Amino acid sequence: MIASSNTSKQGLNPYLPSWEYIPDAEPYVFDGRVYIYGSHDRFNGYVYCLNDYVCWSAPVENLADWRYEGVIYKKTDDPLNQDGSMCLYAPDVTVGPDGRYYLFYVLDHLSIVSVAVCDSPAGEYKFYGHVHYQDGIRLGERAGDQPQFDPGVLTEGEKTYLYTGFCAKGDKSRKGAMVTVLDKDMLTILEEPVFVAPSEPYSKGSGFEGHEFFEAPSIRKRGDTYYFVYSSIVFHELCYATSKSPTKDFVYGGVIVSNSDLHIDTYKPAQKPMFYGANNHGSIIEINGNWYIFYHRHTNGTNFSRQACAEPINFLEDGSIQQAEMTSCGLNGGPLVGKGEYPTYLACNLFCSEESMYTDWTASWMNNQFPKITQDGRDGDEEVGYIANMKDSATAGFKYFDCKGIRKVKIKTRGYANGCFEVRTSWDGPVLGKIQIEFSNIWKEYSANINIPDGAQSLYFTYTGPGSASFASFELE
Half-sphere exposure of 137 (CA within 13 A, CB side): 9
- Rounded to whole angstroms, the Cα distance separating 434 from 420 reads 6
Half-sphere exposure of 461 (CA within 13 A, CB side): 34
- 89: preceding bond cis by omega (within 30 degrees): no
- Rounded to whole angstroms, the Cα distance separating 390 from 413 reads 10
Half-sphere exposure of 91 (CA within 13 A, CB side): 31
- Diameter of the chain by CA atoms? 74
List residues with catalytic annotation.
Answer: 24, 215
> CA torsion sign, 183 to 242 to 240 to 33?
negative
Nearest to 53 by CA among 101, 124, 112, 114: 124
Nearest to 186 by CA among 157, 166, 215: 157
421 in helix, strand or coil? strand
- Rounded to whole angstroms, the Cα distance separating 273 from 167 reads 24
Q: What is the DSSP letter of 210?
A: T
- The CA dihedral of 186, 189, 191, 192, to the nearest 10 degrees, is 130
